[in-house]
Homo-oligomer: A and B are copies of this chain.
Amino acid sequence: MDKHQHKDPAEKLSELGYRMTPQRMMILNAVHNATDHISAEEIYSQVRGQYSHLNLSTVYRTLELLKNLKLVTESDFGEGKVRYHSAEKGHHHHLVCQKCGDVNDVNEAVFTSLTDKLSGDYNFTADLRHLTIFGQCAKCNK
């Protein structure tokens, strides 16, 4: 059994008055089973395979909800559409290279000095989930 068992999503939803519908379940699974960051359109066509009645708006609305519940995170790598990631896969941020397009993960620990400073100097509690930083990567810096 998983010692770090989080509250299961259905429970988390109903606690706040929401319902765990088949659509939401399937969308959540799609994000969870994705090997990489997945887009709304990709989720849509994947889930549509088993439930052809699904509407794209429902995908967007569900992702918005899951994002607010911190079950998924959203990232914009500048490709004109946004991508999603299961929150269970740990917190991290992204470095996107503006030259070669490479995307790399950064541990969120790198940001603690920043959030501490924002908290100390501005009394601002930063909500830094899945931040995307643009710049030039190691390879392109050579």
Contact = CB atoms under 8 A, between A and B. Distances in A.
A110 B111 CA distance: 12
Given A110-B117, A124-B138, 19 more contacts: A95-B124, A106-B118, A106-B122, A110-B121, A111-B114, A113-B113, A113-B114, A114-B114, A118-B133, A122-B138, A123-B138, A123-B141, A124-B133, A124-B137, A125-B136, A125-B141, A126-B135, A127-B134, A127-B136
B110 A95 contact: no
Interface residues of A, number: 26
A86 B122 CA distance: 24
A135 B124 contact: yes
A104 interface: yes
B124 A136 contact: yes
20 contacts: A97-B124, A104-B122, A104-B124, A106-B122, A110-B114, A113-B114, A113-B117, A114-B114, A123-B141, A124-B136, A124-B137, A124-B138, A125-B135, A125-B136, A125-B141, A126-B133, A126-B134, A127-B134, A127-B135, A128-B133
A113 B110 CA distance: 10
A50 B126 CA distance: 42
Contact of A127 (B98, B106, B111): B98
